[in-house]
Amino acid sequence: MAIRCVASRKTLAGLKETSSRLLGFRGVQTFTLPDLPYDYGALEPAISGEIMQIHHQKHHQAYVTNYNNALEQLDQAVNKGDASTVVKLQSAIKFNGGGHVNHSIFWKNLAPVQEGGGEPPKGSLGSAIDTHFGSPEGLVKKMSAEGAAVQGSGWVWLGLDKELKKLVVDTTANQDPLVTKGGSLVPLVGIDVWEHAYYLQYKNVRPEYLKNVWKVINWKYASEVYEKECN
Amino acid sequence: MYDATRLPKSRAIHKSQNTDSTGVCSPHLSLKLELQFKRMAASSAVTANYVLKPPPYALDALEPHMSKQTLEFHWGKHHRAYVENLKKQVLGTELEGKPLEHIIHSTYNNGELLPAFNNAAQAWNHEFFWESMKPGGGGKPSGELLALLERDFTSYEKFYEEFNAAAATQFGAGWAWLAYANDKLKVVKTPNAVNPLVLGSFPLLTIDVWEHAYYLDFQNRRPDYIKTFMTNLVSWEAVSARLEAAKAASSSSS
């Protein structure tokens, strides 16, 4: 018999807990849209409530829906031994799965000002940033420049290279997760530079969006990830 | 005898050219290839030579299907920036003064894109896009164009389905095209700034599916934008004229 567990939708306790649901006796895991830990309007004026709502309810939801569909088709193709369909589905999985992964991180990378959004990084991450980039301002300048230079759609990241034990700034195209740029890269902060992330508010002026988004970046979360990976 | 119906792919073009160490084609493109490339671009009647040409209609003329606000930003800011930035980028380089099509071809560089490609191709693509639309456009084409669509797609509806799917499934930023090559019509989708010119075919029609093209009017609803484009905006006259030019260009060099 199909077992259904409705996971809690109140907290953003982690990707796996809030986003998995067993369906059918095949056990194809499906994903659900994680809740935001803040109201849509809570990041204003840096990011408008209108953008947050459409970004979360429409764009991220579409990635989740399409990812689930692709996984379902993959499951069928794998069971049938249909190798060419399995291969054909890879781009849909990368795109939609990547979209789900990236946006789930993004919502945690943001926080309202009242909850620490924009407060500069402290502790070991703060020191690491000073070491690698001179100062938080140096890092912001570099990430903003690289984010502005992304042609088409993509993301700009601050990542930790676990192997080399250093911080890196990199960009990815479309919905490629940071790990596609290096297997040992762990994303700490990702900024969505797809036009849907800013267009309704900032129109063509992506640099202005990049200037303002730092006011709501949640460095506390980035520090948590950093400290966990460093130990 | 040079056979223009066998359009060489970019790869073949590059093997036969002299390239300098930066990969930019030297001015000594073989005459035949340069002529053929000029014909391909001419067939689409885009004569942009680093000029921001206004659309062939007022910025509010496509309302309510494409808003004046969209045109003001899309043409007035995005397209303008591609043209202005291209001019700055080629200033003082070998590319300065070269026709736009030449720059697109050189900087495509067999897929290893050189810095000016994005601005050059986008300048071309956008002029082509404005001219692909008209007030009171849309619906079904007629005459020879319809006959060829029915021949190569079995029906207009099948063409519509394929074009719609290409436009809807281009991941991220890009374009969907109706193109002509080897006496056949086909639907093509391309990422970012890539266009059929560099893939060896004659562009006939395009829809811009970068988010900036539809976000103010449709937000995330790209399928609604594509439907509106096909139902209310496509200029089949422009497409037919381009098809005629493409056929003439193909046959005149044999």
Q: What does the pLDDT read at residue B34?
A: 53
Query: Residue A63: inside a domain, yes or no?
Result: yes
> Nearest CB to B215: which of A62, A154, A199?
A199
- Edge-to-edge strand ranges of the sheet holding B174-181: B184-191, B174-181, B202-208
Do the beta carbons of residue A99 and residue A63 sit within 8 Å? Answer: yes
Q: Which two tokens mark B70?
A: 């969209």
Write down the mean pLDDT value for chain A: 91
> Closest chain B residue to A196 measured between Cα atoms?
B211
How far, in Å, CA of B8 to CA of A29, rounded? 47
Closest CA to B234 of B116, B162, B132: B132
Do the beta carbons of residue B133 and residue B207 sit within 8 Å? Answer: no
The domain total for chain A is 1
Residue A55 assigned ligand-binding role? yes
Containing structural domain, residue A74 = 46-230
Query: Residue A37: inside a domain, yes or no?
Result: no
How far, in Å, CA of B174 to CA of B167, rounded? 8
A chain contacts of residue B223, beta-carbon cutoff 8 Å = none
Q: Do A204 and B78 touch (CB under 8 A)?
A: yes
How far, in Å, CA of A158 to CA of A142, rounded? 10
User: How far is CA B133 from its chain centroid?
Assistant: 13
Residue with tokens 């499906």: A30
Query: Residue A34: inside a domain, yes or no?
Result: no
- Alpha-carbon dihedral of residues A79, A81, A86, A88, nearest 10 degrees? -130
Query: Residue A172: inside a domain, yes or no?
Result: yes
Query: Residue A14: inside a domain, yes or no?
Result: no
Residue A2 buriedness (CB in 10 A; 0-12 / 13-18 / 19+): exposed
> What is the per-residue pLDDT across A161-205, written as a single tens digit (0 to 9) for each?
999 999 999 999 999 999 999 999 999 999 999 999 999 999 999
Q: Do A199 and B220 touch (CB under 8 A)?
A: no
Query: Residue A180: inside a domain, yes or no?
Result: yes
Query: Residue A11: inside a domain, yes or no?
Result: no
How far, in Å, CA of B187 to CA of B153, rounded? 10
> What is the per-residue pLDDT across B42-66, written as a single tens digit (0 to 9) for each?
544 444 468 899 999 999 999 999 9
Q: Which two tokens mark B223?
A: 């399928």
Query: Residue A220: inside a domain, yes or no?
Result: yes
CATH number at residue A192: 3.55.40.20
Q: Residues 156-185, chain B: which have Cβ within 8 Å of A?
A: 171-174
The residues with which A22 forms a beta bridge, in sequence order, are A29
A chain contacts of residue B220, beta-carbon cutoff 8 Å = 54, 58-59, 62, 196
How far, in Å, CA of A171 to CA of A190, rounded? 9
Residues of chain B with pLDDT under 70: 1-49, 253-254
Q: Which two tokens mark A175?
A: 């919905």
ipTM field: 0.88
The pTM of the full predicted model, rounded to 2 decimals, is 0.86
> What is the per-residue pLDDT across A83-102, written as a single tens digit (0 to 9) for each?
999 999 999 999 999 999 99
